[in-house]
Every structure is written in structure tokens, then in C-alpha cells.
Amino acid sequence: MPTTALRAGQNTALHECLISIGSNIEPELHFAQAFSLLGYECELVAYSKAIYTPPVGFLNQPDFLNAALLVRTPLAHDAFRAYLKAVENRLGRVRGPNKSGPRTMDLDIVAWNGELMDQSYFEHDYVRLPVDEVLAVTGRSLVERKN
């Protein structure tokens, strides 16, 4: 996807997206690359400090480095989700049969325009703690998704 597709025009409405980011394959390198890409291709509003956390599910792998990012984008939700998957691919993500296995990069939408989209926020500290830090720093809050 060309990066120009992510640049907003003067009258383009921007969406705010809260992203959970994680890596356990050369995590410092892949975090730096992800921050660089997302900071260049989106408007990076805020980010949490990175924390190391033990793996969940498949335990025979290195700990993960996790954080949260708040970005603005002119893309619609589905297009932005596809963009994040493309960023994962650009950073060497290989998808295999073990969904809980090691990865170079994992980028998940936790909230879209302040609406909570991912219930793992309530289930996992590695999501909740960085997200809460970004919320506190920016003065934002989340509302639960309406079904």
C-alpha cells in the first residue's frame, strides 16, 4: 500500500486508533521499525512505554515486548486494519498454524474513535496496562462497543 494513501488532505476527517503492539522476535529492532513506519505513515499522537511480558497460550517461546500506540488516520476501520496487517508483513510477520507462536510484529486495534473493539483489554495485562498509560497521558477514555 503506498504511504501517500495514508496522508490526510486538508478536509479529510481523521480517525483515532489505539493499537496494541507486540513482538518477541528481535523485539527492540521490530519495535523501532514499527514506530518509524507508523510515525511516518500515520499521525502518531502518543505511545506507552514498552514492557516485557510472558507469553500466553504457547509458552515455549521468548517473552514479548508490548506497548500501545495512539494514531490518527484518514482510512476507514477495515482499510486501516488491512494496513496494519500489511505493516506486520513488511516487518517479516509469518503466519502459521500456531496463532500464539513467536512473531516479529503483532498490531491489533484495541479501540477505534474511543470505542473499545477488543475484549482482550479486559483479559490481558499486556494489553490493558499500556493502553491505560496512553489513555492517562492523553486524557482520553474508552466506551464499550455497542452491539
By annotation, the residues acting in catalysis are 93, 103, 106, 108
Q: Which of 70, 13, 9, 73 is nearest to 41 (CA)?
A: 73
Question: 82-91, long-range: CB within 8 Å, 24+ apart, which pairs?
Answer: 82/1, 83/1, 83/6, 84/19, 84/108, 84/109, 86/1, 87/34, 87/37, 87/38, 90/37, 91/30, 91/33, 91/34, 91/37
Cα(77)–Cα(27) distance, integer angstroms? 26
